Amino acid sequence: MKKVTSELHTFNSISGLMRRLEQPKPLHPLVALIHYKDVKVPLTDAGNKFSLDFYKISFKTAFTGQVKYGQGYYDFEEGGMAFLAPNQIVTMSDNPDGYEGYSLFFHPDLIRGYPLGAMIQKYGFFSYAVSEALFLSEKEKTVIASLFDSIAKELDNNIDLFSQDVLISQIELLLNYSNRYYNRQFITRKSVHNDMIDKMNAYLSDRFTEKSLINGLPSVREVSDHLHLSPRYLTDMLKSLTGQSAQQHIHNHLIDRAKNILSNSNRTIAEIAYDLGFEHPQSFNKLFRQKTEMSPIEFRQSFN
């Protein structure tokens, strides 16, 4: 049997994507809103990969079946949202009838020169994995639906001098509500996330053994890969629940390991720095002082 390989299709314009999805030409060249019920995905595209040169916000009002979330599967029939930044690769679903809702596409040129263009990086969920979608309550879903309806009505108007200003303000409001709901999700799914934190701490404890540190200091990417999360999602989740980023958690484990070595060995500071994975002892000294307000030597002396 011949092996089927997926193809990568790149779209640098929203108009090009609309043609591929057999949708009408967008009323605004830099923005488009489609309803999933109107999209007829060609069967030949099922399983193919798409790379978009623009942002995509999906609002699914209902799901069929289960969705992967972290390392588990959950039923989210109430619907949710997913976000894609430009140049991320997505796979076309072979079950377009599995959900209902909308997708909003907007090109970076739409927000260029506006405050949102410079600030959009603060919306970390554009870097989350698809499995880290935002799942909404009924009340939240009503709010999001009204925002999508407002955008749809604005796109139906004739373009004038105020069109771009209005659209950008509506998109920014949509993103701000999404930020609020993601923060709520970190809290309401606290038990799931606490399990993740426990697994992270166990992994870091193992990584900061002398044998494991031969491979160098662990990175945020390494830890997030171990937990099957995206780096940005891991950091945002940790900040919401613990007040510290993923990098800060790694540093905390490193300092704890350094304190144990300093208090239980006569190794030089340089030797300890190299053993902990630092290329330069000065870097170790600087980080240790930042975290403890003491130099490694001062800590050793105060401990003794």
* pLDDT over 50 (residue 208): yes
The last residue of one of the domains, among 158, 173, 188, is: 188
Q: Are residues 147 and 223 in the same domain?
A: no
CA–CA distance, 291 with 102 (Å, rounded to integer): 47
Q: Are residues 36 and 134 in the same domain?
A: yes
Q: Are residues 139 and 284 in the same domain?
A: no
Contacts 24+ apart (CB under 8 A), 136-139: 136/78, 136/79, 136/80, 136/81, 136/181, 137/78, 138/78
Q: Are residues 126 and 68 in the same domain?
A: yes
* pLDDT over 90 (residue 174): yes
Q: Are residues 71 and 182 in the same domain?
A: yes
* pLDDT over 50 (residue 232): yes
Q: Is residue 280 part of a domain?
A: yes
Q: Are residues 283 and 162 in the same domain?
A: no
Number of domains in the chain: 2
Range of the domain at 163: 8-188
296, 272 contact by CB (below 8 A): yes
What residues contact 253, with CB distance under 8 A and at least 6 apart?
A: 201, 204, 205, 207, 208
The last residue of one of the domains, among 143, 167, 188, is: 188
pLDDT at 68: 45
Which DSSP state fits 295? -
Phi/psi-derived region of residue 109, left when phi > 0, alpha when psi is between -120 and 50, beta in every other case = alpha
Q: Are residues 264 and 158 in the same domain?
A: no
Provide the whole-model pTM.
0.73
pLDDT at 1: 41
CATH classification of the domain holding 258 = 1.10.10.60
pLDDT at 47: 66
Q: Are residues 172 and 244 in the same domain?
A: no
pLDDT 10s digits, 64-85: 555 444 444 444 555 688 898 8
Quickly list DSSP for 207-268: HTSTTGGGG-PPPHHHHHHHHT--HHHHHHHHHHHHSS-HHHHHHHHHHHHHHHHHHH----
* pLDDT over 70 (residue 228): yes
Q: Are residues 240 and 270 in the same domain?
A: yes
Q: Are residues 140 and 207 in the same domain?
A: no
Q: Is residue 3 part of a domain?
A: no
